[in-house]
Chains A and B, each alone.
Chain A
Amino acid sequence: MSAVAEQQTRVPSPTAGASAAPVQQQTVNRRRPEQGSRQEWIVVHVLYLIIVIFFFAPFLWLLTAAFDGDAVAYIRWPAQPTFANFTYVYQNFHIGRALANSLFISTATMLLSVVLVSLAAYSLSRLEFGLKSVVTYGVLVLQTMPLSATMVPIYGLARDLHLRNTYLGLILVHSAIEMPFLIWLMKGFFDTIPRYLEEAAWLDGRSKFRAWWEVVMPVARPGIVVIAGFAFLNAWSEVLMVIILVDDPGKSTVPLAFYQTFRSNGGYNEVNYGLVAAVGVIYVLPVIALFFSLRKMMVRGLMSTSRGL
């Protein structure tokens, strides 16, 4: 482009020596690696290896033991690779029943939680100032209450209300325990939804409730998925409350079955690792599957709580 060359003002560079190479020649690049050295790569990956071993080893054992007819307490390739543990457990430990119960309770809890939490979280998010801070602090305080402190009273309460060994009791309790956390999470989510959506609906004559249902909730769908995921996961995993509330084997859940498998009858000396591991796998699998499919959303939700601080 001759026009360009013409316009370019060129000042003779006052260089001597090294850089006196003719301008047309391309200079060889002394490029520093922008991406860290070889050594650093090795160090980081060694650390990675150690971390993975530390965190994953127990699960490796779970997998190898569950599929081993002659399971031992240490990690090794199964001596007798088999599905026998699973079939045995299914037939003798009433796992089928427990699975059905767990599924039912977890799903019901998930549904109940989603409804109650969205209602409460939205209301909290849009509440006017004075009352709002009181309720918010209340929710936060509830979140810090340890289950281990309330389990004794809940036992007494459930007994008096005849909620022990009932599906209703289990569903209510499972919903209640995660609720403060879920409300807090969902409230944060609603806070990010701009008010003009519902305001437009109000101007159109909708009641607050309809506006919420028709306009805000669809936008909040990703948050709801996260809440539902957490609710289901926690309900499925919950064992403490089940221990307190259930002694009827017909109402047993997978977590309880698992717990009783290895901790009943005074100790764990005579446990058949393979069998317990099999129950463990049944217990853990849905949790892991669900969590890892929803992982990104959940972690983002959790991270955002740190940003709100």
Chain B
Amino acid sequence: MATMTPGRGLIAWRRNRSLIGGLLPAASLLSLFFVAPAIWAIYTSFTNRALVGLDARHPRHVGWANYERLLHSPAFKTVLINSLVFVVGSAVIGQFLLGLALALLLDHGEHRGYRATPFVYGSVLLAWVNPTVIAGFLWVAMFDFYYGSLNKTLELFGLSGVSWLGKAPMLSLIIVNTWRGAAFVMIIFQGALRTIPSQIYEAARMDGASAWQRFWDHTLPNLRQVAAVVLLSVTISTFGAFLLILTLTNGGPGTKTEVIALYAYHAAFQSRQIGYGSAIAAVMLGLNLIFAAIYLRVSSPKI
């Protein structure tokens, strides 16, 4: 830890001067592209600014009008529900459970020395590492009603094809997002599993615990802390999901898969109402801040 005594005021300032200097370049860039936009969004949300037309030239201050509109908009309610379903389905259930299962399976395979393990690992990672729009495109093809791989496989078994993106868009999105994000959860859990000393398991064996008991009594409890953090983490990142949905369904059919980020995008760029769009963005940022605060409280990261 610090070998210098923490000081107050001027002395501390002098000592830390060069360090603060080191932070400045990054801080300015971040301020420009994170802080400034956030402030800009909040400011703009109180205007009726638009991309074209009269309101583009001379945006007027409209107070809380945008927010009121938001609150009373039935579309927004749908959007919130969609976002909730998407986050719970793909992050809380999908990515989390699948990632956990994968971590356990691969950890087990590693211990047994199965040589296929790295390949399985690699394929899971592949889904995570590739760019979002690629993932979207790939699954558009997979989901294609007439010629997609999924329906073609179903046909092989004598079943009729499903209109994935048409009739079950949310489910399809959840599948794809789970496919994408499971790797992250898997990696974090794998890290946690590796920190459990093997001697604990040996001690449990000596005490008479069966394989199932060892898993239940010793593996799971030790994963609990990490689990909470991971869960929050995937929730936060899935909350802002945009590109994947844009690529696959663009919020459709209709507004069935319109999540909050898409709602903001459409308002700003399709309806050209930046003021309204900024209000939505501001709400997003606010909700995100709350999530972030919870995350920080739960994870108590090493300062």
Contacts and interface: CB of A to CB of B under 8 A. Distances in A.
A–B contact (CB under 8 angstroms): yes
B243 A240 contact: yes
Interface in B139-173: 139-142, 144, 146-149, 152
Interface residues of B, number: 108
A239 interface: yes
- Judged by DSSP, the binding face of B is helix
Contact of B29 (A54, A116, A128, A240): A116
A208 B124 contact: no
Interface string A30-73: 00000110000100110110011011111101100100000011
A183 interface: yes
A130 B19 contact: no
Interface string B186-209: 011011101100000000000000
Chain A: interface size category:
35 or more
Interface in A108-123: 115-117, 119-120, 122-123
A273 B27 CA distance: 43
Given A152-B41, A295-B125, A119 B26 contact: yes
Interface string A156-183: 1100000000000000110111011001
B75 interface: no
B268 A157 contact: no
B285 interface: yes
Interface string B121-141: 011111101111111011111
5 contacts: A48-B116, A54-B179, A149-B240, A151-B265, A157-B36
Interface of B: 2-4, 6-7, 12, 15-16, 18-23, 25-27, 29-30, 32-34, 36-38, 40-41, 44, 102, 105, 108-109, 112-114, 116-117, 119-120, 122-127, 129-135, 137-142, 144, 146-149, 152, 179, 184, 187-188, 190-192, 194-195, 225-226, 229-230, 236-237, 239-243, 247, 261-262, 264-265, 268-269, 274, 277-278, 281, 284-285, 288-289, 291-292, 295-296, 299-303
